[in-house]
Amino acid sequence: MKTYLPPKFLVTRDLAKCIRCEVCVNQCSFDNHYYDADDDEMKSRSENCVGCHRCVTFCPTGALTVRRNPLEYRENYNWRPEFIEDIIKQAESGGILLTGMGNDKGQRIYWDHLVLNASQVTNPSIDPLREPMELTTYLGRKPDRVTLGPDLNLEAELAPQVRLEVPIMFTAISYGAVSLNVHESLARAATEAGTLWNTGEGGLHPKLYKYGRNTIVQVASGRFGVHPDYLDVARVVEIKIGQGAKPGIGGHLPGEKVSAEVSSTRMIPQGTDALSPAPQHDIYSIEDLAQLIYALKEATHYTKPVSVKIAAVHNSAAIASGMVRAGADIIVLDGLRGATGAAPKIIRDNVGIPIELALASVDSRLRHEGIRSRASIVISGGIRNSGDVAKAIALGADAVNIGTAALVALGCRLCQQCHTGKCAWGICTSDLFLTKRVNPDIGARRLVNLLRGWSLELKEMLGGMGINAIESLRGNRLHLRGVGLTDTELDILGVRMAGS
Amino acid sequence: MKELNRLQNPYHDDKVIDACSIFGAMDTSGKRFSGKGVIRAIANMHDRGNGLGGGFAIYGLYPQYAELYAFHIMYLSQQGKQDVEAFLADRFHLIQAEEVPNRPTPAIVHPPLVWRYFLEVGRQKPEGQADDDYVVERVMEINTRFSDAFVFSSGKDMAVFKGVGYPEEIAEYFCLEQYEGYLWTAHGRFPTNTPGWWGGAHPFCILDWTVVHNGEISSYGINQRYLAQFGYHCTMQTDTEVVAYAIDLLIRKHGLPIEVAARVLAPPLWTDIERRPPGEQKLLRILRQVYGSLLLNGPFTVIIAHHGEMIGLTDRIRLRPLTVGTRDSMLYLSSEESAIRLVCPDLDEAWIPAGGEPVVGSLKTPRQTQPVAVAGASATLPDSRIVSR
C-alpha cells in the first residue's frame, strides 16, 4: 500500500563538506543515508529520518542538517498534523499506535509554575563551597517516635533503611527494553554515586549481581526473572503495579528484542513476546497487595524494604494510603509524563495525572492520616533538572527517580522510536551491532557526572534557602510559591501564590 | 474563633520573623535571687531589639502558691475579662485572682489589662486525663475561642511577664525588680514583620515550659507540618512556638531526655555521626532518621527552661550567638558575653559552645515540692554541658 504519510524531517547535506566517508550510513539504523555509486554522492531517504541526530553528531565534517519538514497544512486548531498523521498510520496498519518515551503533550507542567525561595537579610544563606551541606537521605519505614530505655538504649530496631547519598535514583528500565550495556552503566553509576538503580521488570543479568547493594529489583505482573537469588541480591524489592506512561496496562517487550541473553535473564523462550498482564493476577484488591508485600518480606527475611510503584491516577491519595497501611515501606508514584520503551500512544498521551498534583495530594493525605513517616515517597515522570528535584522534595518527596534524563545523558534524543528496537544510540535495543554504541565505562561516567552536577546545584539551592540538610526542605512547601496558577491548583499543591 | 492572626500576623506572612537578644541566669543550688541583674544584663543588649517586644520568665516565683497553676492573662477589653473569668470559674477551682502589679511609665503605651489567677484543676477534668493535658487544652481553648483574651503563662510556681517595649521598660512596668526566682530568662525582640502585639513578645510559654528565641527557622514549613501530625497546631506562626511544641513532644510525650532532644533539634552532621562509637552512632542515626522533620534549620539560639532546668542551644552551625558563663552555682547564658560580665565580672569560666551542643543547667538537688526551693552552695556545675564535653 502506498503510504500517504509525509516525511517528518528533511535531511540536507552540504556537498561541499561531505567527504563520502559513509559514517552516516553506518550510524543510521533507520536506513536513511546511502551511497549512490552512479552519482558518486551520499543521498538521503528523508521519509525514514526520526530526528535522532546520530548522523549529525558523528558526521566528521559537519555536513548534515536535520530540519522539520516545512510541510504546511491548512490551519486547523482541531485537526493538527499529529492527528491527521496518526489516522493515516492506522488506516494503513489497522493497529494500536505504539510509541516510546513519555507524554509529549501540552498538559500543564507544574514545575514550570513553581519557584523556590532564598534567604535575604533576616537569615543568612549558607555557602556550600565553605559549609557542610547534606543530601543524605534514608528510604524506608520509620516509627512515629524513638523509645529509649534506661541508659539510653533503644527499645526497638528500625525497619530496614537504605541510605542514598543523593536523593536521585535511576528509575525502572528493564533489560530487554534497554541493552545490557545500559543496565551496566546505570548499575555502576548508582554504585559510584551512592544511590540506587532499578532493574525494571525484566530480571537481573548475572553479570550485574555484584552491584546488588545498589539495586532495586522489580516484581511485576509478568514475574519475569524473579527467583530467590534475584530477591536476595537486591537492596530493595519493588512491586510494580503500574507506570505513568501506561497506567492500567502491563509491560510490552516485542519478541524481536528477546535475544538469547534476554531470554535467559527473563526466563522465557527466545523470540517470544513478553507481554505482562495488565493487573497482577494475584492482586485484585488492597488486601491482596498486603499479602504480596508480606510474601516478599518473608522471602527476604525482613532484611530489605519493599516498595510499591503505581501510576499517578485520580485516586492516588486514597490508594497510597492503602498501600502504606498494607505494609509498603516505599511508595513510588509515576506521573503522566513517565516514559516507557513501548506503550500505546493513546494511553501514554491521555491517561494519568501530573506527578506534581499526585505528589502534593499523597503527601498531604498521608500527613493528615498521621502515617507519612511509615513510608518514603519516591516520584518520577518527567524530572528534567535539579530544579524539578528541589521542587519535588519541597512538595513532599523523599527522593525522585529519573529515567529519561539518565538516557539523555547516555545519548538519547527523545526521538520516540524505543518500541522499534532500532535505537541508533544503542540504548533501547537488543541489536548487538547497536548496543555496543553504549560503552559502560563512558556511560557510567556520564551518569555519575550528571548526578554530581545536579547534587552541586541542589546544594546551592539549599544553601540559598538557608538550609543545610535536605530533610529541612522535604515537605517544606513554604519554600515554594506558585506563578500563574488558579486558587484550586494552589490549594491542591499546598503552595501560596508568589508575592503573597 | 478568635482571629489571632489579625494581631499576630496581620500581613499573613509564612511566619513571624524576628531577631533578638536573649539572656538566662540560673542558680543551680536552687537559691532564689532578685531580677535586678537580669534586667541590667538584657538592657545592656538594648540595640539587639527595636522596642517591639520584651519579656521575662521567672521560676520559683510563687512559693506561696507552688502547687497551683498560675495563669497570666492579658485582656483587650472588660468584656473579655468577664467572659474568661466565668470560664475559669466553671472549669477550675479558683484560689486567688488579682491584677498583676504595674506602675505607669512613659514608655509603655496602651497596655492591656493583665491579671493573674491561681488555680486548681477542678472536678470538670475528665476521669483519667492528666492535669497538665487538661490545662493545655483549656489554654488552647481560651486562646482560640475568646476574643480579647490571651493566656500567656500557665505553669506552677513560675510566670512570664511580657509586652510591647524594650525589656527593661517591661521590667519597670511590671515592677520585676521586686520579684525573686532561682531561674530567669529574658528577651528583647526585633520583629521585622509585625506591629507590636503584647502576646507576640517572648518568652513563649505552655505549662512551665518557656522558650526565648533568637533566629529564623528556615525549616519552619516542615517542622510545623510534622508537629501537626501530633495534634500541635501552630496558631501563632512563630518559630518560637515550633520550638516549644517540639520540646513538649520530645520530652513530655516521647520521654526523651533533654540532651537527646537537643540532638533532634540540632543533630550532628552525618559525617560526624559516622565517626562516633557504635552505640552512640546508632542512636544519633536513628534520631535523625525518625525525627529529620524536626531538625531546626537556619539560624537560631534558644534558651529553653522548665522547673529545674535551663538549656541553651544553637543551630548546628551556630549562625546566632550564645555565650556561657559560670560563677559558683550560677549559670549564665547570653547573646553577648558583655551582658554576663556586666552583672558578674569575675566569672569562673566563660565559653562559646560549639554549634548544636546543648548547655544544660540543672538543679543540684531535684526540686522539692516545699514552697521554697532547697538552698545550698556548691562551686561546680556537674550537670551543665551534659553531652557536649
Task: DSSP for A212-249, please give it.
Answer: GGGEEEEE-TT-TT--HHHHHH-SEEEEE---TTSTTS
In whole angstroms, give the CA distance from residue A465 to residue A127: 10
Task: Write the DSSP symbol of residue A172.
Answer: B
Q: Is A465 in the B-facing interface, judged by CB distances under 8 Å?
A: yes
Best of B189, B193, B222 to mutate (most A CBs within 10 Å, chain A): B222
Per-residue pLDDT, A475: 97
Q: Considering CB atoms only, which of B225, B254, B291 is closest to A367?
A: B225
Task: Write the DSSP symbol of residue A134.
Answer: B
- Cβ distance A291 to A200 under 8 Å? no
In whole angstroms, give the CA distance from residue B312 to residue B214: 11
The pLDDT tens digits for A390-400 are 999 999 999 99
Residue B312, strand partner residues: B303, B359
Task: Write the DSSP symbol of residue B383.
Answer: T
A154 and B221: CB-CB below 8 Å?
no
Q: How is residue A104 written as a grid cell?
A: 509529549
The identity of residue B308, as a single letter, is G
List Cβ neighbours of A24 (8 Å cut-off, separation of 6 or more): A32, A33, A42, A55, A58, A59, A64
Residue A237, strand partner residues: A217, A306
Place of cell 551512592: A194
Q: How many domains does chain B divide into?
A: 1
Q: Considering CB atoms only, which of B228, B256, B269 is closest to A134?
A: B269
CATH number at residue B347: 3.60.20.10
Residue B122 belongs to some domain of the structure: yes
Q: Could you please state the CATH topology (level 3) that the domain comprising A137-497 is classified under.
A: TIM Barrel (3.20.20)
What's the pLDDT band for A87 if we cut at 50, 70, 90? very high
Nearest Cα to Cα of residue A190 among A443, A495, A483: A443
Residue B281, min C-alpha distance to chain A (Å): 12
Residue A131, min C-alpha distance to chain B (Å): 9
Partners of residue A469 in chain B, C-beta under 8 Å: 292, 295, 297
Tally C-beta pairs within 8 A across A and B: 114
The residue that leads in pLDDT, A460 or B51, is A460
List chain A domain ranges. Answer: 9-95, 137-497
Residue B383 belongs to some domain of the structure: no
List Cβ neighbours of B329 (8 Å cut-off, separation of 6 or more): B27, B28, B29, B31, B364, B376, B377, B378, B379, B381
Q: What is the ipTM of this complex?
A: 0.90
Per-residue pLDDT, B237: 67
A469 and B254: CB-CB below 8 Å?
no
Q: How is residue A423 written as a grid cell?
A: 535505537
Q: Considering CB atoms only, which of A138, A372, A478 is closest to B220?
A: A478
Residue B380 belongs to some domain of the structure: no
The bridge status of strand A9-13 relative to strand A64-68 is antiparallel
Residue B90 belongs to some domain of the structure: yes
Q: Is B254 in the A-facing interface, judged by CB distances under 8 Å?
A: yes
B14 and A496: CB-CB below 8 Å?
yes
Residue B274 belongs to some domain of the structure: yes
DSSP 3-state of A258: coil
Q: Is B222 in the A-facing interface, judged by CB distances under 8 Å?
A: yes
Q: Is A138 in the B-facing interface, judged by CB distances under 8 Å?
A: yes
Q: Is B354 in the A-facing interface, judged by CB distances under 8 Å?
A: no
Q: What length is written for chain B?
A: 389
Q: How many CB atoms lie within 10 A of CB B257?
A: 15
Residue A360, min C-alpha distance to chain B (Å): 13
- Cβ distance B165 to B54 under 8 Å? yes
Q: Considering CB atoms only, which of B14, B287, B292 is closest to A478?
A: B14
Residues of B forming the active site: 20
Give the mean pLDDT of A444-466. Answer: 97
Give the mean pLDDT of A284-313. Answer: 96
How confident is chain B (389 residues) per 10-residue block, as mean pLDDT? 56 67 95 95 91 92 94 92 94 94 90 94 84 89 86 94 94 95 94 72 89 89 92 75 88 90 94 93 96 93 93 91 95 96 95 92 65 31 32
In whole angstroms, give the CA distance from residue B287 to residue B267: 8
Per-residue pLDDT, A307: 98
Nearest Cα to Cα of residue A349 among A334, A360, A337, A365: A337
Q: Considering CB atoms only, which of B229, B253, B256 is closest to A370?
A: B229
Nearest Cα to Cα of residue B37 among B387, B288, B325, B386: B325
List Cβ neighbours of A495 (8 Å cut-off, separation of 6 or more): A114, A360, A395, A477, A480, A481, A482, A485
- Preceding amide of A247 cis, omega within 30: no
Per-residue pLDDT, B386: 38
A147 and B255: CB-CB below 8 Å?
yes
The bridge status of strand B309-314 relative to strand B359-362 is antiparallel
Q: Is A149 in the B-facing interface, judged by CB distances under 8 Å?
A: no
The identity of residue A145, as a single letter, is R
In whole angstroms, give the CA distance from residue A437 to residue B336: 65
CATH architecture for the domain at A9-95? 2-Layer Sandwich (3.30)
Element (DSSP H or E) covering residue A346: helix A345-350
Region class of B298: left (phi > 0), else alpha (psi between -120 and 50), else beta: left
B298 and A467: CB-CB below 8 Å?
yes
Tell me which residues of chain B, numbers 125 to 154, contact chain A at a CB-CB cutoff of 8 Å.
none
CA-based nearest residue in chain B for residue A367: B229
Residue B209 belongs to some domain of the structure: yes
Q: What length is written for chain A?
A: 500
Residue B11 belongs to some domain of the structure: yes
Q: How many CB atoms lie within 10 A of CB A376?
A: 27
B256 and A477: CB-CB below 8 Å?
no
Half-sphere exposure of B10 (CA within 13 A, CB side): 7
DSSP 3-state of B326: strand
Q: Is A46 in the B-facing interface, judged by CB distances under 8 Å?
A: no
What percent of chain A stands above pLDDT 70? 100
Nearest Cα to Cα of residue A399 among A267, A278, A307: A307
Q: Is B300 in the A-facing interface, judged by CB distances under 8 Å?
A: no
The pLDDT tens digits for A316-354 are 999 999 999 999 999 999 999 999 999 999 999 999 999
Tell me which residues of chain B, numbers 85 to 104, contact chain A at a CB-CB cutoff of 8 Å.
none
Lowest average pLDDT, out of A101-115, A433-447, B97-111, goes to B97-111
Residue A60, min C-alpha distance to chain B (Å): 48
List Cβ neighbours of A234 (8 Å cut-off, separation of 6 or more): A204, A212, A215, A216, A217, A300, A304
Residue A495, min C-alpha distance to chain B (Å): 11
Residue A42, strand partner residues: A35
Q: How is residue A315 written as a grid cell?
A: 485516586
Phi, psi of B163 (to 5 degrees): 180, -170
Range of the domain at B206: 4-362
Partners of residue B261 in chain A, C-beta under 8 Å: none
How large is the angle between the packed helices A386-395 and A355-368, nearest 10 degrees?
Answer: 30
A471 and B295: CB-CB below 8 Å?
yes
A472 and B192: CB-CB below 8 Å?
no
Instruction: Report the Cα–Cα distance between both ends of chain A, in Å, rounded.
Output: 61
In whole angstroms, give the CA distance from residue A61 to residue B49: 69
